Structure formats: C-alpha cells, structure tokens
Chain A
C-alpha cells in the first residue's frame, strides 16, 4: 500500500515537473513575439498618435477586413504579437473591420507563415492556397459577424473608453466619452492619450505605454501558457487524434488539438507534419486555420480586446467556419 502511494506521488511529481517545463517552453517562445507586437504598437502610437492615418484605412465590409489581413505582410507577427497591434488600431479609431481583419488573418497572411507552410508541405500545394484563402474568409465572416454587435457589447471596457476618446464629438458626447465628467479621473486612459499639444509623444511616454502594455498582456500570457501546459500534459495527445480518418470527427479532434497545443502560427505547419498522415485533409486544414485565430494561450490576450460574450462569439464563429471549410475539403478530396 505504502509503495503504491509512493508510486502515485512520484508519477504526480513527474507530471507537475513536466507541466512546469512545458509552461516555460511556451512562455519563453512567446515573450519575444509579444515584445515585437508591443514595440510595433508603440511605434504606431508615436507615428500616428491621433490615428490620423489609421482612420483612413478602408472601411467597407469587404475592403476593411481585406486590407487589415494584407497588413500581415508588412507586420509579420504571430498571434501573440498582433494582439497589441490590433488593440492600438482599435484604440486610435481605425475602422473596426480593418483591425479585426488584421487580428484574425494576419497571423497566417504573412511571409514567415506562408513559407513555413510551404516548407512543411511541399507535396500539398493546395494547402498553400487554401490556408491563406481560408484565413481571409474567416476574417471576413468574423468581422461581419462581430460588427453586428454594438461596440459596447463587443469591445473590452478599457479599450472601448480609449476608442471613444478618439472619436469625433459629433459621434460621442462628452458624457459618452467619459472625458467630461467631474471626479472621473480615468488615469490609465489619459496616460495612453497624453500626447503633447502638437500631438507628439515623448520617448519616455512611449516607453511607459509599451511597458505597461507588456505587463498587462504578459501576465495574461502567463495564464494562457499555464492552462495550455496543464491540459496538454495531462490529456494524452492521441486522444485528440483518435478519430483519425472519420471525416467530421477528425476535423473536430484536430480543432481541439489546435486549441490545446497553442503553438505559434509560424511553426504550427511543422507540428502538423508529424500527424498529417493520420488525419483527413480537412482536419489538417482545420488545424492550420483555427490555431492562429484562437487557442488556450491567446484567449486571455484576446480578453483585452473583446468582452467575454464577444469572445465566445469569436470562438463559436471561427469553429463553425473552420468545420465547414474542413468538411468541404474532405468532400472534394476524400
């Protein structure tokens, strides 16, 4: 009996040590990309503090998300890096569709990810076409869906308040902007918009903005990495791939795996290479489409952009779209 208890204890300690190591791996890999995203966000703030240029990005239902998606070619960051950039775009009043298009599609529509997809699957040229195309489609559909909500239901409270400050008074009254209320200091929002009279930021203000954004998002990234490490260490990965060649179930299992494994979009194709032969083509596409939009690691970061109900809508919308795309591919190829 004592031996059994000792064995269980030892197994538990091994599991915990492994969770701790996987957590460190995920975190140390993601932090440089978060820094890149925060740096781009800060540079964007310095370059265009009032959003003069960003507000001029296309606003159309199609052109907005498409132009946002194409921005990925200019700012090649994975999903950890582009959350702060998308937040900045939204905060300075850029068209919502453009910012959402960037948020959802840029992690795939960038040269690093496309090259790694091609390098991992040179024998599947259809994947090199369908991955970016599917990603753009997801961005279009999610942008359209989310813009049906009013901004107060869609955006995280702090981000919404900051966005409202950048809107013209014709659109929001002082009361709605919460910038004219006596006894309502809102120090955080004021700091982010504390440009001088010429609309410029001092370097130390940019540094302060960047450091505070890193602290906020970094602490959330920690939680996401911890959750992802815990689940993927304790639940056998084969469980996610058990459903192998069943057309629909294989897609669902690949989607679950993408949510749990939480690797960066620039290397997920190489990870998929390891099990590509065990699953259907639709499941492979689903794995490569879902992870860059949302996973356990990024969900806490996304909570700084969206309200929780809106985040649930993002999850439901992207899962449904990816499932349909995977099914369509299986119908054609199987």
Chain B
C-alpha cells in the first residue's frame, strides 16, 4: 500500500525526492489557477487562451495528486536544476503580478494596421470604441467625413516623441508579446498640462481636422477628460 500524500513529515529522504517533481507540478497547477483567478490573464493573453490556462492548471493539480499518491513504487529521476528553476519562477509569478507600462510597450511597436474587413458595421459616433474609430479612419481616411462627430472613448495615455500624447488601446491576437497599439491623436485643452503616460482616461469631445506634417488628419478635440481605473480587460481582440 503506497504512502498517502500527507506522509511528508515522517517520510524518508528517498520518498521526498520521489515526490519532489509532483510537488513542483502541483505548485505550477496552483500558479496557473492563481493567474486565472486573479484576473491577470486579461492583461496578458487573448481571451481564447484563458480556458486553456485554467484547464492546464487543473490537469497539473490532478497529475500532481496522482503522482504524490503513487510515486513511491517507481524509481525517480533527479532533475534538481529544472525543478529549482521552475519552483523559483513559479513562486516569483505568484509574488509579483505583472504591472507593465503599456505606454513603454506600445512605444516600441508600430501601430496596428486594421483591415477594412474587420469593420463589420458602423455604430453611432458616440458609441464607437477607440479601436472602432481607428478602423473607421483606416478604411475611410478622409478626415473631413468625421469633423464635428461626437466622441466618447477610453484608453491609456501614449507618449509620442515630439508631439502631444495620444489616447490608445492595445490589440492582441495571442499574448502581450504581439500586442500592437492603436491610437487617436488628441488636441488637449490648451491651458492644461498633458496627462502622464499610462494614465487611463475617458475623453468626451468632438472630431476635428488638423494639419499634421503637411497632411490633414482627424484629431479628437478633448472637451471633458475624466481619469478612470484601468479596465479589467485592458486589451482588445
């Protein structure tokens, strides 16, 4: 009859060594479930992958429980280095949740080119999200078409070298590694200091046309600016 999971304290060193791989696997099961439960996946991964992470965490825990229950009947391999690397990184993942600077991330990447095909329908101007506006401006680039349209969008402040900051969102297809920014140029109120990068804002205003480097472009004239909390799902598909 193999020893049960709780045999650890009185177990011989050999038994503990045999159980170590399953303890590491169990730790990673807990790490994945914690990542799923604490909402960080919303910041890191496209929603398609969330259930995969959850299922993987559950499978790891089940396998770890099975291994701890029956592992003493077979010889063990001593992968101390991989186990140490995985254990330390698992603990680090639990202790330090991700707090990326979206502005820093976006500054290194060119804007996403959103195709016309993604513009399935047009909602009224004030109901369009920031990415809807960018899609629309990509598909119908004439800025005169939108002059005077009311706008209400939310996003984070993206610093632009040598120009006023934009209001932006990040689009992901897979994970934060492939996130690309979409941003709207903003004409900030003249007597106000520009907001700091990464700050989340809701902006009410109207679309206008301005000349930028000799080319006409649409610009959001901010009338009302309200700081908001970062949304639970800051990335857009």
- Listed in ascending order, the chain A residues whose CB lies under 8 Å from chain B are 11, 14-15, 17-18, 20-22, 24-26, 28-29, 31-32, 35, 122, 187-188, 190-191, 194, 202, 204-205, 207-208, 210-212, 214-216, 218-220, 222-223, 228-229, 232-233, 235-238, 241, 261-264, 267, 270-271, 273-278
Contacts and interface: CB of A to CB of B under 8 A. Distances in A.
Contacts of A263: 173-175, 177-178
Nearest to A18: B100
Given A15-B104, A208-B67, A278-B110, A271 B178 contact: yes
B53 A261 contact: no
Given A14-B104, A262-B177, A187 B49 contact: no
B67 A28 contact: no
The CB with the most chain A CB atoms within 10 A, among B52, B53, B63, B108, is that of: B108
Contact of A212 (B53, B77, B100): B77
A275 B114 CA distance: 10
A22 B177 contact: yes
B74 A208 contact: yes
Nearest to B174: A267
Interface in B76-131: 76-79, 81-83, 85-86, 89, 93, 96, 98-101, 104-105, 107-110, 112-113, 115, 117
A241 to B, nearest CB: 7
B32 to A, nearest CB: 7
Contacts of A233: 104-105, 108
Interface of B: 21-22, 24-25, 28, 32, 35, 40-41, 43-46, 49, 52-53, 55-56, 59-60, 63, 66-67, 70-71, 73-79, 81-83, 85-86, 89, 93, 96, 98-101, 104-105, 107-110, 112-113, 115, 117, 171, 173-178, 180
B88 to A, nearest CB: 10
A271 B99 CA distance: 23
Given A204-B67, A219-B85, A241-B110, 8 more contacts: A28-B45, A32-B52, A236-B107, A238-B108, A273-B113, A274-B178, A274-B180, A278-B113
B53 A31 contact: yes
B82 A204 contact: no
Nearest to A15: B104
A277 B81 CA distance: 45
B86 A219 contact: yes
A21 B24 contact: no
A237 B67 CA distance: 44
Nearest to A235: B108
A190 B82 CA distance: 20
Contact of A22 (B67, B70, B105, B117): B105
B49 A32 contact: yes
Contact of B79 (A20, A26, A215): A215
Contact of A188 (B28, B44, B77): B77
B113 A276 contact: yes
Nearest to B51: A32
Contacts of B115: 273
Contact of B174 (A20, A29, A236): A29
Given A18-B104, A222-B85, A228-B177, A29 B49 contact: yes
Contact of A31 (B32, B108, B110, B177): B32
Contacts of A194: 74-75
B176 A22 contact: yes
28 contacts: A15-B104, A18-B101, A18-B104, A24-B93, A25-B98, A29-B174, A32-B55, A35-B60, A122-B117, A204-B71, A205-B74, A210-B63, A211-B21, A212-B79, A215-B25, A215-B82, A218-B86, A232-B177, A233-B104, A233-B105, A236-B107, A261-B178, A263-B174, A263-B175, A263-B177, A270-B173, A273-B113, A274-B110
Contacts of B28: 31, 218
